[in-house]
Structures are given as structure tokens and as C-alpha cells.
Amino acid sequence: MELRVIKTRGDVIQDVALAKIGGKGLFVKEIEEALLKGDVDLAVHSMKDVPVELPEGLEITLTPPREDPRDVLISQNGLKMEAMPSGSRIGTGSLRRRIQMLNAMGHLELVPIRGNLDTRLRKVSEGLLDGVIVAAAGMKRMGWEDRISQFLSPGIMLPAACQGILGIETRQGDPLRDDLAFLHDSETWTDMSGERAFLTRLGGGCQSPVAAFGEKEGDAYRITGLVASLDGKRVVRKRLSGPAGQAAELGDRLAGEILEKGGREILAAIYASAP
């Protein structure tokens, strides 16, 4: 097996907010083009970076077990958020994280950042920032869990839809999917189905503060969703539970209820102000 590393536009452009250069699809476009041309036979994606609409001819074939979906704080001296002095500078490139931080920890200053994980952590170690918020999954996969200062519960920081989930993408009907079946985790697939259905109904992405987190518990599935205004003053958050076999239907229904409770007006205002 040959492993090919493809740098996407999202990887290369690290000094501009994603919302201004096309959103999260920038992390998959070149990879999907290589897959369609037959240059590669499968692609491995972080599902939180994959748009809900896939190119014709491609499909997400399977999902390995989900890594920790939470966000984490990496700070100087290992300080937790609530112990950090007023005005401490916390870096994040995510609208979702920024809005929830403004509501949970208003005494902290949020600083926009881009760059890979190592670049973000270096800003803390060099004293340019007092802390950064990143995904636990990335820290764990790099073997850097000992550098985590605080795990942020979904009650404080609702994760991005599909955070911690890897997806294997192939060409539709490719028999390769059968050879990879041993990697598949059905519980993670259930989580992904509900969360992506939520996003599909909302049309949300990096341009708007949207979050969703689903959990399969036995035969039941519980999903929580959030939509917020860019200034964080309006937040609509709801939760639904139901049969795990109806995860996608629950995600879609949750999005519909959030839209009816004010989410539609919030998103309309965001898209109207977009450049």
C-alpha cells in the first residue's frame, strides 16, 4: 500500500479565517479530485471538515471508532479557564468555540488564529498567547495528551459536528469497501449520521457558529445542537432523544426545531452580512 500526502488549500492558507476563503471544504477538495481521477483509491478525512454534499461518484464508506469529541484548553502553567486572570489571551480559529467561550468565560480575550496544531501550541510555549483551544482528538492522536490543561465538557463547549470522527471516502461501488469493513464502527456511524443530518438541514459550516453532538447509548440516541449569532448574544440550543436507528431523522428534526426557535433569523442575518 502506498500512502500519499496531499496538501489542500486549507492546509496552505493559514493566515486568513476559513469563513473568508471558502469554509471547511478547502480541506478536502484536492483530495477528492485525486480520488475521482483515480490517482488515489481511498481518502481519510476528519469528518468535521467534510461538506455535507459530496461530489457525484464519491461516498463515505465507513467510520473507525470515534476519538474523544471534546475540545481542550492548552495553557501556560497548566491553568484552567476559570483560574486564568481577566484579559488572558486565548487563541481559537473557530467561530463556534469563540461564541461559547464568550458566554462561558467572558473575562477572557479571544484571539483569532490559524495554523496546524504544532503552530498553535508554539504560540503558547513562546508566550504569545496564554492558551489555545483545540480538539482533544488531535492532541491524543499526536500523543500529546499530557500537554492538555483542561478538557471542556459538551455542557460548556458543544463540539463541532463529527469532531473526533474519521471517515473513509471511496468511489461509489468500489469493492475496496469490503476489504476495509473490519475498520468500521457502527456506533460512530450512528453519531455521524445524526450530526451530519443536523448540518444538512441548517446548511451550517465554518461561516456560522453551529455545533452538534450526538451519543448512542444502547438502543437510544441523544443529540444536542446549537446555533448562535456572531456576537454571541443570541444562542439557540436544544436536545432531542429517540431510537438509535432514527439518528438521521432526529438530527434533521432537531435542526428544524432550532430554526423555528430563532435559528432561521440568526443564520439569515449571518449570511446577509457575509462578503
The yes-or-no answer on residue 11 being catalytic is no
Cα–Cα distance measured from residue 150 to residue 79, given in angstroms and rounded to the nearest whole number:
8
Alpha-carbon distance of 60 to 43, in angstroms, equals 9
- Could you tell me if 74 and 132 are in contact, meaning their C-beta atoms sit under 8 angstroms apart? yes
- How many other CB atoms are found less than 10 A from the CB of residue 22? 16
Maximum C-alpha span of the chain: 56
Q: How far apart are CA 75 and CA 182, in angstroms?
A: 38
CA distance 241 to 221: 6
- Which amino acid makes up residue 79? L
Give 274's contacts (C-beta < 8 A, 6+ positions apart): 19, 207
Residue 271 corresponds to which amino acid?
A: Y
Of 11, 49, 71, 231, the active-site residue reads 49
CB 240 within 8 A of CB 257: yes
Q: Is residue 75 classed exposed, middle or buried when 0-12, 13-18 and 19+ CB atoms within 10 A define those classes?
A: buried
131 phi and psi, to 5 degrees?
Answer: -175, 165
Q: How far is CA 54 from the centre of its chain?
A: 17
Across the strands, what pairs with 135? 71
Catalytic residues: 49
